[in-house]
Chain A
Amino acid sequence: MNLLKKLTQAFAVSGSEDSIHELISAEIASYVDEIYTDNLGNLIAHKSGNGKKILFTAQTDEIGVMVTYIEDNGFLRFAPVGKFQPESALHQKVIFPNGTVGVICAEIGTDVSGELKFTSMYIDIGTVSSEDTLKYVAHGDTAMFIGMFIKTPAALISKSLGCRASVYILIEAAKRIKNNANDLYFVFTSRNQIGYKGNMVVGYNIEPDYAVTVDAVAAQDCPKSSDSAVCLGKGAVLKLMDKSVITHKGLREMLRGCADDAGISCQVGVFPTDVSGTAAIQGTKSGVPAASISIPVRNINTTCETANYEDIKACIKLIEEFCKKDFIFA
């Protein structure tokens, strides 16, 4: 739990993911045979075996803001890094890698109940002139949202909880798997907020026989959700399809079988409006059978992503069981 907390609070705005790599490497190094980064900044941990080559990925990078302009009176204009709603950014705090903290505000007179736009918003770091601001922040700097990690009896709440829980799941699975017959790659992919860049190249370099992406999906159990299929607390989610991918049937059924045999709670989901990194790997070279194991998360892409710890544990257990299997289907 302490590791998950550390991971959620790490700075890894898309494109600036170095510091979380150090954290992951330190955690996983003694459980794998080699660790390296590729040309795009994906961190690859390899646990070798003689069987099939299986690729697991988890996305490390989070949403954030990039400074685009500094006003004469010191305020910062910004662009979003990744996709999130202006409303969910308003009055949130952001922090730069050097510790500078700012508050996201809307211009006076902006109709915040109407259509709020990033171009009419700014970041206030408390300075009064551009000279003053430039001591702390430069054009092009990125900042992450502040959203502390909270554990309640029912749930975990934090910024970046979905992606970091995915990272946590891979780390924990890599630690638990011993004497693996299959050749396992645990890849912590970077730069996914713009079109899943990291996931697009990882399959090309590793050429896996099978791929499983671990990610977060929007829970469908909130008030007025159109559907209430995927709920918090009902276990790991096996994605049937989303807007970008239909997962591989054989692989998905095998995961389901692993879950049933080991008594791991799991649920099946369809996400018609979401896209995921699974698609990027599935289409690599001559094609890779790909499925995904997902954590249901409420309030996704906000500073208070909410998930259930039992669901996260179910995902870890499922990967552990899955890696024990022989792959017999084509």
Chain B
Amino acid sequence: MLKILTELDAVSGNEYELSDFILSQVSNYADEVIRDYMGNLIFYKKGKKPNGKKIGVFAHMDEVGLIVKSITDDGYIKFDTVGGIDDRILLSQKVSVGPDKICGVIGTKAIHLQSKSEKKAVPKVSDLYIDIGAQSKEDAMQYVNKGDYIAFKSEYVRLHHRRFKAKAIDDRVGCAIMMELIREKYDSDIYFCFTVQEETGLRGATVLARKINPDTAIVLEATTAGDTAFSSKHLYATVLGNGPVISIMDNASYGDRDLRVFIENVAKSRGIKYQHKLTSNGGNDAGAIQSRASGCKVCSVSLPCRYIHSAVSVADGGDYDEMRMLVRAVLNDIGEFEPNEVSESEADDV
């Protein structure tokens, strides 16, 4: 499933290829299916023993990518980024452009024409272009239009030790786990939400959280792993192979402490490995969900992922299995989650 999902293209704002696929696969398992105006998908599953609480499970469908800005007279495509992409990972990538998935490569000025300083510097987006083999503007315009989305072309490949390389691991892992868990029955009322436009500012989740107004939400994500060569241990944030990541706090949200402890206890009771996200950098849909409408208790559970937001992200199959087990167990037990109320006292009359 991860292979299929990561090889589909769904750059932010253009998630239809993926959302059509998800609809075709799992619509039968939900009591109600909604695709809203932004393109978010909501699958509502009635619980066997609902307790009046609304539980939301969120994963975003979109991935970072590029968009066609203009076409030069020579038929080269100038582009801009969609979502947070490091300029350094762009050069020499294979991409697929527009609805017809025209194959192209990202190029820059030939090496013998570059000045000394250009050779040393990382080429900026404005110095790069996509070459689809077109011979002129008119030629290129037959295949490509301004505003067409561009996705990385990158196959799912197995590496050693159950690790794998793919694009869009962020957040197809969340989608894959939800598509599997949607098929089961739960005690609580659960809204499985596939959101759009996370990478461009949590936009889908912002609307969705207002619409559903859940009491509790679990956000399934992929998060950065810094356990790479040339990095000090205290900067790793998360480590491949140490299990799913439970967030405490990041730039966009505070994980709810009671919910976090509940999830940790579910993991401990079933012998599932987990780790904490040991940085406050980054942010995801939890930030939008937490503070929309009347507010919501949130916690993110993520798959550690190296080279996130690139065409060659690397993650661990063992972590994926543990994450799937953990989320399944949490959804089975979520009816038992009772936050500690801090103070709920009727005061004396004045």
Contacts and interface: CB of A to CB of B under 8 A. Distances in A.
Given A30-B347, A30-B348, A30-B350, A195 B291 contact: yes
B264 to A, nearest CB: 10
A109 to B, nearest CB: 14
Interface string A200-219: 11001100000000000000
A33 B342 CA distance: 18
A3 interface: no
A77 B350 CA distance: 49
B349 A81 contact: no
Contacts of A45: 347
B343 A43 contact: yes
B348 A35 contact: no
B248 A33 contact: no
Contacts, number: 117
B280 A68 contact: yes
B251 A194 contact: yes
Contact of B278 (A31, A33, A36, A139): A139
B291 A201 contact: yes
Interface string B227-244: 000000111110000000
Interface string B64-79: 0000000000000000
A39 interface: yes
A298 interface: no
Nearest to B236: A69
Given A14-B254, A16-B257, A205-B294, A37 B343 contact: yes
B254 A29 contact: no
A69 B278 contact: yes
B349 A33 contact: yes
Contacts of B281: 79
B292 A35 contact: no
A81 B346 contact: no
Contacts of A41: 342
B46 interface: no
A204 B294 contact: yes
Interface string B274-289: 0010111100000100
B249 to A, nearest CB: 6
A191 B254 contact: yes
A140 B350 contact: no
A119 interface: yes
Interface of chain B: mostly helix, strand, loop or mixed = loop
Given A40-B290, A71-B234, A140 B348 contact: no
A18 B342 contact: yes
Q: Tell me the dominant secondary structure on chain A's binding face.
A: mixed
Contacts of A200: 291-292, 295
Nearest to B345: A35
Given A29-B347, A68-B280, A139-B276, A39 B296 contact: yes
A34 B248 contact: no
B293 A201 contact: yes
Given A25-B345, A33-B349, A39 B234 contact: no
B275 to A, nearest CB: 9
Contacts of B341: 37
A140 B249 CA distance: 8
B228 to A, nearest CB: 15
B141 to A, nearest CB: 42
A253 interface: no
Contacts of B346: 34-35
Interface string B327-350: 000000000000001111111111
A78 B287 CA distance: 21
Interface in A1-43: 14-16, 18, 21-22, 25, 28-43
24 contacts: A15-B257, A30-B347, A41-B342, A43-B342, A68-B237, A68-B278, A69-B233, A71-B234, A77-B234, A79-B281, A80-B280, A81-B280, A140-B248, A140-B249, A140-B278, A194-B251, A195-B287, A197-B291, A197-B295, A200-B291, A200-B295, A201-B291, A201-B293, A204-B293
Interface of B: 215, 233-237, 248-249, 251-254, 257, 276, 278-281, 287, 290-297, 341-350
Given A47-B350, A68-B278, 17 more contacts: A30-B348, A31-B347, A33-B349, A37-B344, A39-B296, A41-B342, A66-B248, A69-B236, A77-B234, A140-B249, A194-B249, A194-B251, A194-B254, A197-B290, A201-B294, A201-B295, A205-B295
